[in-house]
Amino acid sequence: MTRDNYSFKKHQKELTRKKKAEEKKQRKLEKKAMEDKGPLALSDGNCAPEGGDSGQVSGEDASVV
């Protein structure tokens, strides 16, 4: 009777676990990219101006005004 090659099974299990972890990481990155991209698009197809719409002026711009 042959013996099981446990080290091979362990290696295959580790590879599967790493592959699943990498796929999960990619899904999270894609989801984050979609969330970051989403609010910038307006309904008319134009993009919102960068830098936010808080209305506050940054430190170096405040000295110019």
**Three-state DSSP string of 6-56:** HHHHHHHHHHHHHHHHHHHHHHHHHHHHHHHHHHHECCCCCECCCCCCCCC
The range of the structural domain enclosing residue 21 comes to 11-36
> How many domains does the chain divide into?
1
Domain annotation covers residue 26: yes
Nearest to 48 by CA among 58, 61, 35, 37: 37
Residue 21 neighbours by CB distance under 10 Å: 10
Model's pTM, two decimal places? Answer: 0.47
58 domain-assigned = no
Band the pLDDT of 53: cuts 50, 70, 90. Answer: low
What the block records as the tokens of 13 is 């299990």
pLDDT digits (tens, 9 = 90+) for 5-52: 899 999 999 999 999 999 999 999 999 988 887 655 555 666 556 655
Domain-embedded: residue 29: yes
Whether residue 24 lies inside any domain: the answer is yes
- Whether 18 is in a domain gets the answer yes
Does residue 55 sit within a domain?
Answer: no
